[in-house]
Structure 1
Amino acid sequence: MLQKWAFRSVFAYLLLGVILYVYLFYLADSTLPQMYKGGSADPETFMSSREIMLSEEFSTIKNLLFFLSTPYEWLFYFLILIFGVSRAFERWAKGTTKVGFLQTAIYLFWLSLVSYIAIFPFQFISYKVSTTYNISTQTFSMWMKDELTDFWVNFLLTFIIVSVLYALIKRFKKRWWLAAWALSVPFSIFMMFVQPVLIDPLYNDFYPLQDKKLEAQILDIASRANIPAEHVFEVDMSEKTNALNAYVTGIGSNSRIVLWDTTLEQLEDEEILFVMAHEMAHYVEKHIYIGIAIYIVLSFIGLYIAARLMNWIVRKYSDEMKISDVSNLSSLPLFLMITSMLMFAVSPFSNWISRYEETRADRYAIEMTQDKEAAISSFQKLSKVGLSQVNPPLLVKIFRYGHPTMLERLNMLEEYEIEEKKEEKTP
């Protein structure tokens, strides 16, 4: 039975890999519809033929890595369960110490280490692809430094979460998922509050925007939008990437509007002002708080489903999974596998919500700046520098895109101009 389960799961993964490869490299359609040829969304108007070819290659490889790495994670968790690796880690931890929280720490260390080693090939291939296509500028040593920082930050956070989670499972046999959900909400909000000042600086240096003239222009837009901003932050990203980005992070008094230095170097001031107006729209329209509300609902449903599935699987397949009780630490890979599957399943919905909010932010930015040309050129440069597809395949858009495609964003600007002209003609 064990060999049959292992063989079938590996075979299913390999078959999925072949199907995804054929779809992405041979069947998926990313060509631009004829009606958009020659317009602002046509890559031929702002990219060279070589850049178009590289963007297609790079995007396709990254998409394949994404779709392969997610089920690979599920396969990994499944195999360490059925082969008894997770149970061995738990026995090892219990045999080392009698102190409960130390047992959790020892178990998690070995699980985290084995997980990191198993997933490392995907991480390394992704890094090499990014450097090959000149997206990443990191040396291997710099990249490994970030990887190790990730490992220990994730280990610490996971240790806190898992310690509390399994204490709740032991305390509330049937309603542990409800208690876990009730505690996860304030914990997630707390992490959003402290991330800009405690976690983000572990990876990069943040400082107030050095171009004071540009900062004054950005703060003027913030003032007109009734945003209580005193500083705009820039972050040193050029030693890691050539890509462009800006974002809003944190909540409450720890909210920050952040610009990558690559964005400052490669965009004109008018384009940066459009990008900043876009980011401010997320604050104005309270997208962060909407996101928190959606998280509260989805995490409630997700934890309930995870608990029901874990109880059913352990009850029916305890011998095969090498789990005698849900409260055992060895059941953690099962919990992680189920929650990962649920998150992947709900990603089309969450991405759709995100794309809607980003579209709202784009529209807000063009209404605030009234600079269509800067908006168009900023989107074109984002696509060109990041080697992103203007019109990605439908499956990629559904599962990967939290932003509208460049075709949709540039087309929205064209339609906005048409709407404006119609309104001007209306008496």
Structure 2
Amino acid sequence: MTKKWGLMAVLVFGLYVIAMYFYFFHGQNSGIPAALQGTAADPGTFLTAQELVLSEELSNIRNFLFFIATPLEWLLYFVILITGISHLFEKWSAGQFRWTIWRTAMYVFLLSLLLFILQFPLDYYRYTLSKSYGISTQLFSSWMRDNVIGFWLDFGMSVIMVMVLYWLIKKSPKRWWLYTWALTVPFSIFLMFIQPVVIDPIYNDFSPLKDKVLETKILSLAEQANIPSEHVYEVNMSEKTNALNAYVTGIGENSRIVLWDTTLNRLTDDEILFIMAHEMGHYLLKDIYINIAVYLFMTLIGLWLIAEILPWMISRYGSILKIKQMGNMNSLPLFLLISSFLVFFSSPLSNAVSRYQEVRADEYAMELVQNPEAAVSTFQQLTKAGLSEVNPSALVKWFRYSHPPMLERINKVAEKAEEEEN
């Protein structure tokens, strides 16, 4: 029976991969609408012929990898369950330690290490892909260091969360999901509070803006928006990438507006000021707090759905999945599989919320700096640096794009620039 289910899962995944391959490499062709061809939004006007080819190739590969990576994760969880590997990890951990915390830590470590090894080839391919297209500049040793750090950080947090989760499941089989969510609220806020000052500096070097002339301009802009000046930082990313970026992170006194040094090195002051105005828009429009609220709401719904689906699957397919009851630690891969499934299919909703926020931040930036030409050139430079796809298909936009496609963003600010000229 195990062999039958395993072969069936592999076959379904294989057919899915083939379908995605033909869709991205032989099917979909978004192109540029006729009305926008030759305008500032048309990548043919600001990318070279070679960059256009590379952008299309890289976008197709990235989109294909995105849509197979998560189903591959589901397949791995399923195989780990039906082959009894998860049960074996739990049994071995229980035989080695008396204390629950050490049993949990050992089980989580074994499961995390196995998943890390199984997913490493795809992660490494993504790294080499980015290097081959000139996006990544990161040495393998540095990339591997980031992966190892990420593994141990995830492991540490996972041990705490899994231990609390299964303790609640055993104590309250009916209400565990609600109590888990209640604990998620302060934990999530705590993580967002410490991330800018504890977690992020582990990966990269942050410092106050060094360019004092530019700093004066940004402080003047921040003063107009009533934003504290200490929220502007630069981060050394040129050792890892050629891409450009800026973002808002953290909450309260630890909130920061961050500029990558690649952005500082490659954009003009006017373009940087537009990016800063955009990030200030996020700050003033309270997008970070809105995102926390949306995340917590979706987490509540997700945990409730898991509480409904998980026991049903165990009661019906427990013998196949090698799970006797929900409170057993070896049910964790099933919990993670359902969670990943829900996150993947809820991403169009969360992405839609994010795109709405980005549109508002763009509008705020255009009002604050009153320089649509700089906005147009900024978006063009961002596209050029990342070889981004300016007009993705609807499927890609729904599932991948937390920002509006560059075609939409450039066209909007270009129209505003034309209005001002007239």
* TM-score, length-scaled by structure 2: 0.98
**Secondary structure, counterpart of 1:247 in structure 2:** strand
Check if 1:41 corresponds to 2:26: no
Name the residue aligned to 1:112: 112
**Secondary structure, counterpart of 2:243 in structure 1:** coil
Q: Counterparts of 2:27 and 2:138 in 1: how far apart (Å)?
A: 33
CA contact (8 A) 1:30 1:389 kept: no
Q: Counterparts of 2:188 and 2:130 in 1: how far apart (Å)?
A: 31
Deviation at 1:418, TM superposition (A): 5.6
Q: Counterparts of 2:294 and 2:202 in 1: how far apart (Å)?
A: 28
Name the residue aligned to 1:178: 178
Q: Counterparts of 1:419 and 1:105 in 2: how far apart (Å)?
A: 61
For residues 162-203 of structure 1, give each alpha carbon's deviation from its aligned partner in whole angstroms, at most 9, with x where no partner exists.
111111111111110000000001100110000011100110
For residues 238-257 of structure 1, give each alpha carbon's deviation from its aligned partner in whole angstroms, at most 9, with x where no partner exists.
00000000001000000011
CA contact (8 A) 1:135 1:386 kept: yes
Aligned residues: 422
Deviation at 1:420, TM superposition (A): 5.5
Name the residue aligned to 1:393: 393
Deviation at 1:297, TM superposition (A): 1.3
Name the residue aligned to 1:325: 325
Equivalent AA in structure 1 for residue 237 of structure 2: M
Deviation at 1:136, TM superposition (A): 0.4
Name the residue aligned to 2:359: 359
Equivalent AA in structure 2 for residue 86 of structure 1: S
Name the residue aligned to 1:72: 72
CA contact (8 A) 1:209 1:231 kept: no
Q: Counterparts of 2:415 and 2:198 in 1: how far apart (Å)?
A: 42
Q: Counterparts of 2:210 and 2:383 in 1: how far apart (Å)?
A: 26
Name the residue aligned to 2:165: 165
CA contact (8 A) 1:219 1:230 kept: no
Deviation at 1:231, TM superposition (A): 4.6
Q: Counterparts of 2:96 and 2:341 in 1: how far apart (Å)?
A: 33
Equivalent AA in structure 1 for residue 337 of structure 2: M
For residues 204-256 of structure 1, give each alpha carbon's deviation from its aligned partner in whole angstroms, at most 9, with x where no partner exists.
00010100111121121111111123252110000000000000100000001
Taking only the aligned residue pairs, the percentage that are identical comes to: 55
Larger CA deviation: 24-33 vs 381-390: 24-33
Is there any run of 5+ residues in structure 2 with no aligned partner, and where?
none
Name the residue aligned to 1:425: none
CA contact (8 A) 1:219 1:231 kept: no
Q: Counterparts of 1:32 and 1:365 in 2: how far apart (Å)?
A: 26
Name the residue aligned to 2:56: 56
For residues 290-315 of structure 1, give each alpha carbon's deviation from its aligned partner in whole angstroms, at most 9, with x where no partner exists.
11111121111100001111110111
Check if 1:103 corresponds to 2:103: yes
**Secondary structure, counterpart of 1:233 in structure 2:** strand
5 Å matches for 1:183-194? 183-194=183-194
Name the residue aligned to 1:144: 144
* TM-score, length-scaled by structure 1: 0.97
CA contact (8 A) 1:177 1:307 kept: yes
Q: Counterparts of 1:216 and 1:170 in 2: how far apart (Å)?
A: 58
For residues 19-62 of structure 1, give each alpha carbon's deviation from its aligned partner in whole angstroms, at most 9, with x where no partner exists.
00100111112311111111001111111100000011111111
Equivalent AA in structure 1 for residue 269 of structure 2: D
Give me the CA root mean square deviation: 1.1
Q: Counterparts of 1:167 and 1:25 in 2: how far apart (Å)?
A: 47
CA contact (8 A) 1:366 1:375 kept: yes
5 Å matches for 1:177-256? 177-256=177-256
